[in-house]
Structure 1
């Protein structure tokens, strides 16, 4: 077994992020004599890329699901040891005065889609397209009923690049290309999600044309951020003693802690994303602190299978695979017994 493990998480509401900020993860592994190294904080670009590719052995990750779906589809031996379903604001927005007030008004209109031609995993394009397809389907429309305008950007997707010109900020929020295109009249509408998307929509006084982040049908709301899997590589999972079960137990404790400390939980989520706490409450709902559990259930498997099919049909992942076989319930079962005791 390696004397250290790698971890990474997305700027999003995840119990892994909260557990790490509370110091629980490092403490748990320290007691086992194992160090924890951050993929996002590495100076090596090849290491940082594993945030998306899951290429490093002895690593674990929780965040958007497109990169781990891509990695598993491409043959990387990973397993899902827990899933968090925290729904979030998802919408198509337009400018006032555009004549677009509801979803059916999108017919024949230009919808912007971010695209990074040089990226192996263009998760932002996939996320936007899934949101667009979901919104159109609610009106009996498809992508052929609108004009998709691809907005190319050479900027890498690595989440810590930021823009040093602005006082060394480590992260640039999404939707910059879409906002410029909307303002210049190149597009009529675009997709946003999460706290960052809600803040942007509020800032420009946008018309929320279609909002479906809390739609009752999981096939509509499933996207890169819903749900978010906790994944480990197979080599890490196979190592004794029960380090993965220990990890799952620590991350699983966050749900109870967050319910008892809702404002502290939201403060940590806001810190992770880089937004105000009010944006988290607004984007994820007043019960966000009650939706941070780790589970592995049939509804989550169905959601992943549906999204995997979408990604396969649109060419975002290279091959099909069995989602049920991707789930590894043993660590969660062991952790649940441990936490109950």
Structure 2
């Protein structure tokens, strides 16, 4: 498990430093003159993140309003192209915390962003099957059909397919198996990965919940098992009385449990950090204060997380463990960065990202260091 020491800057053991020649360095910023800024964009995933909690508590809005800056939600934008920035990070003066596949994909494609903090909150990850399948353990998956969601022609990264494949690979590896030992059944969906609000097809809910295609395929007998994760995954497994064939969300080997939601980065675009470093440092300081608040208010923290995801509070305790409120810190530990390096390599090998890039060079520790000094003061 990554060590959890908020606001402590630790040199990379590899000997590399974060962005040594970047214009985001403290020296370069000392000569920057900030242009007036009226508003910033933000987005977060329905997941346990300190950014989500800070937003729901009103801290983020108040922090920016104190500087005369309004905060605009990418997810609530009326412009479909603007909403896609939830995945592409295309908007200037924006920040995001959530699943790591979209920001890795955006950085691989050339979008200049910086990781200014990381939250590691482990969660339920499993391959499940119906009792009637006769599959009771991971070894039983050999020769069986495992469903994988897929969105053909997706203009952005197919993060749901990547997430499922990483989970399946992890489950198989625990039994000495590989994807060649099973039949991967791709379940095509035409629904785009676009954040929408007020969509009548959602029947009054905020969004489409995951695993619908997999559940239908399982009911039709087209597949024997599929991957689920998080609170939504554990609720679904409970609802259908599934057999948990392989569970590895809390496995001691981080390479097994690394996936889209583990860990979750806080990213900002390079222009934002270069031109308005103080605002970014204030943001990091504000989000960083969630850890202490959550430890002192565990029930309230879980209530906010459950509301963000749209599940009951018991599902959060079950999926993320009894100490979920203790794992909402914002840090930049070498172990966390190494996790990104490993997962980036997986995404590159499976063709989910176009080019390789230096993950350690993606990290910018200066806002976290500045936030630590401010909070200490």
Q: Deviations over 1:76-129 (max 9, x none)?
A: 000000000000000000000211000000000000000001212100000000
* Greater mean alpha carbon deviation, residues 168-177 or residues 139-148: 168-177
**Which fold has the larger relative contact order, with Cα–Cα distance below 8 Å and residues 6 or more apart in sequence?**
2
Structure 1: which 4+ aligned runs deviate by more than 4 Å? none
Which among 259, 273, 294 is matched to residue 223 of structure 1? 259
Which among 265, 283, 303 is matched to residue 267 of structure 1? 303
Please list, as runs of the form range in 1=range in 2, the aligned pairs for 1:105-254 lying within 5 A after superposition: 105-119=140-154, 120-160=156-196, 163-165=199-201, 167-240=203-276, 242-254=278-290
**Partners of 1:277 and 1:327 in 2: CA distance:** 33
User: Is the 1:164–1:170 contact (alpha carbons within 8 Å) kept by the matching residues of 2?
Assistant: no
**Partners of 1:187 and 1:159 in 2: CA distance:** 28
**Partners of 1:152 and 1:165 in 2: CA distance:** 19
Which among 21, 34, 38 is matched to residue 3 of structure 1? 38
2:86 is aligned with 1:51: yes
* Greater mean alpha carbon deviation, residues 232-241 or residues 155-164: 155-164
**Partners of 2:320 and 2:193 in 1: CA distance:** 24
**What's the secondary structure of 2:116's corresponding residue?**
strand
TM-score, structure 1 length as denominator?
A: 0.98
1:60 is matched with which residue? 95
**Partners of 2:198 and 2:146 in 1: CA distance:** 26
User: Is the 1:42–1:48 contact (alpha carbons within 8 Å) kept by the matching residues of 2?
Assistant: yes
**What's the secondary structure of 2:218's corresponding residue?**
helix
2:70 is aligned with 1:35: yes
**What's the secondary structure of 1:97's corresponding residue?**
helix
Report the CA distance between 1:162 and its aligned residue. 7.1
User: Is the 1:162–1:172 contact (alpha carbons within 8 Å) kept by the matching residues of 2?
Assistant: no
- Runs (5+) with no aligned partner, structure 1: none
Cα RMSD over matched residues?
Answer: 1.0
Compared with structure 1, are the counterparts of its residues 162 and 139 closer, same or farther at alpha carbon in structure 2 (3 Å cutoff)?
A: farther
**What's the secondary structure of 1:43's corresponding residue?**
coil
**Partners of 1:81 and 1:217 in 2: CA distance:** 25
**Partners of 1:182 and 1:167 in 2: CA distance:** 23
Task: Give the number of aligned pairs.
Answer: 341
Compared with structure 1, are the counterparts of its residues 52 and 240 closer, same or farther at alpha carbon in structure 2 (3 Å cutoff)?
A: closer
**What's the secondary structure of 1:242's corresponding residue?**
helix
Compared with structure 1, are the counterparts of its residues 162 and 313 closer, same or farther at alpha carbon in structure 2 (3 Å cutoff)?
A: farther
Which among 365, 368, 373 is matched to residue 329 of structure 1? 365
TM-score, structure 2 length as denominator?
A: 0.89
- Runs (5+) with no aligned partner, structure 2: 1-34
Report the CA distance between 1:3 and its aligned residue. 1.1
